[in-house]
């Protein structure tokens, strides 16, 4: 059971810190960890896992035995913005995005 979150406006580096906390954990434990993690990416990742759980229910999987078998973060496209600087110059500001993929499986 797979779910993808694309174009999340948080950099991949910051998202990976949250994703590494829950890799290999059961779904209930992962949601519990994400609920009490004070990071910007924790809420979107929690919603992604709940979406993957819903996809698993549609395929008639046993929700109590699900765990996070794979979860990874890839870089998305970067939004480039410009900020004025001294002496008429401009500096580029990169607003990075990320794509998160979550795969749930049943424990045997």
pLDDT for 83-107, tens place per residue? Answer: 999 999 999 999 999 999 999 999 8
Residue 69 CA: distances (Å) to CA of 16, 35, 45, 65: 15, 19, 15, 12
What tokens appear for 48 in the block? 């992604």
pLDDT for 15-63, tens place per residue? Answer: 999 999 999 999 999 999 999 999 999 999 999 999 999 999 999 889 8
Residue 20 CA: distances (Å) to CA of 16, 59, 68: 6, 27, 11
């Amino acid at each position: 059971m797979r779910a993808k979150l694309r174009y999340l406006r948080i950099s991949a580096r910051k998202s990976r810190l949250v994703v590494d906390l829950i890799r290999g954990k059961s779904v209930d434990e992962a949601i519990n960890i994400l609920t009490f993690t004070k990071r910007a990416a924790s809420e979107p990742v929690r919603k992604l896992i709940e979406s993957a759980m819903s996809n698993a229910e549609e395929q008639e999987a046993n929700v109590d035995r699900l765990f996070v078998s794979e979860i990874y973060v890839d870089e998305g496209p970067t939004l480039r913005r410009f900020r004025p600087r001294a002496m008429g110059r401009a500096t580029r500001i990169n607003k990075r995005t990320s794509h998160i993929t979550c795969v749930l499986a049943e424990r045997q």
